[in-house]
Amino acid sequence: MCCLRQFLYPSEEGSYKLIRFLVERLSDSSEVGGKAGPEGVNDERKEKEGSSGSNLEDQTTGDKEPDLSRDKVRVKLDKLTLKSEVPEISVNDVRTSSTGRFNKDRQTNVFSGNHSTEKVQNQEQLLMEEVKAKTSELEEELELVKEAADMAFDVHHSIELHLEKLNELVDVRRHHLGELTSQWEAVRKPLEAKKESLQVSVYANNPYTQEKLRKLKDYELEKESILFKIRKREEELSKLSTDLEKQPKLASRKSYIERVKEITKNSPKQEADIEQILKDTRELQLESNSIQERLHRTYAVVDEMVFREAKKDAVGKQAYRLLTSIHKCFEQIREKILATDRIRREVGEHEKKLAAMASRSLNVDKLQADLDAIRRENQYLEKCLQDQ
């Protein structure tokens, strides 16, 4: 308890001793901070030992000389503090400033070096990719030029054969592209459905965003319909272009005019022939009707006579049976002759049509288009004549 009281409330002599001890420690630490190397360490150790010894001596002397004046101690304390503060501040400032500057310079140098290295590597990678792309393009162009030269200087095969092969390759690529498009559509639709469900779940609590999402869906549907129509029209255009290339060259307008003139010139003769054929047909029909009527009357008379005789004896009955069977057979023969004649006429007509189709390539759409063009041209000429 006594020691605690002396520590909390020291006497004047004890405070002077403590101040003197602290000042000497400060001076020793400042002198040790200016030294370096193993010699400095040894000197520091020696000075520590000396300082400890001096402190002990001071303590003993302080114990022996309690009547030391207050002014002397204060002057000595001021001198020691001035001597010790200046080197301590300078050494610590130099040390901290030099280490901080070195660390900052080192960090900046390392960062700038890494950044410049990454930049150079990226530029080198970009240049290598550009060179590879250019090289591949040039190689493809060289292969195409070689193939074109081989086709041009090929004596054994004609250019048309090579064109057919190229068209086949184009068709195969187009078919492959269509398959890839269908596969992409099969993958795209579930992804879009998932996207729409996620959008609906995200924007479910906001009516404004729901309205925007609905408008966006409408626009997307309209865009899809427009793209579908465009693709359909492009397919139709490609198909019509190929059909147009396959079609033979159209005849001149003069040839159509000559054909129309020839038809109009032969029309009176054809009408006369048609009238003659109709007249002959009517005469033959009248003759056939008269013969059939005579035959029916003759059959009715014979049938009545044989029927009367059949009532008298068995021979008459047998004759009547033979007459009816003959009548039926002749009726069947007549029907078969008429059917055969009709079939023969139809066969002749079909043979004529086949011969006409074989002699010239008949295209109904082409003929209809030509007829419409001729009609428009005639209307235009009539209008010009009326204006004149």
Higher-scoring residue by pLDDT: 195, 228: 228
Predicted TM-score (pTM) above 0.75: no
Q: What is the mean pLDDT of the chain?
A: 75
Query: Buried (b) or exposed (e) across 298-328, using 16+ Cβ within 10 A?
Result: eeeeeeeebeeebeeeeebeebbeebeeeee
pLDDT in tens, 176-204: 888 998 898 888 888 888 887 887 787 77
Q: How far is CA 385 from the centre of its chain?
A: 58
pLDDT of residue 229: 93
Residue 352, CB-side half-sphere exposure with 13 Å CA sphere: 6
187-204 burial by CB neighbour count: b if 16+ within 10 A, else e? eeeeeeeeeeeeeeeebe
pLDDT of residue 41: 40
Model confidence pLDDT, tens digit, residues 363-381: 777 888 888 888 888 888 8
- Decide which of 184 and 162 is more confident: 184
**pLDDT tens sequence across 340-355:** 999 999 998 988 888 8
Task: Judge whether residue 156 has pLDDT over 60.
Answer: yes
* Domain map (residue ranges) of the chain: 2-122, 168-246, 261-363
Is pLDDT above 50 for 27?
yes
Cα dihedral sign for 215, 218, 224, 230? negative
pLDDT band at 88 (very low <50, low <70, confident <90, very high): very low
The residue with greater pLDDT, 220 or 55, is: 220
Lowest mean pLDDT among 24-33, 145-154, 310-319: 24-33
Least-confidence region, from 76-80, 213-217, 224-228:
76-80
Read off the pLDDT band of 311 (50, 70, 90): confident
Model pLDDT, residue 5: 55
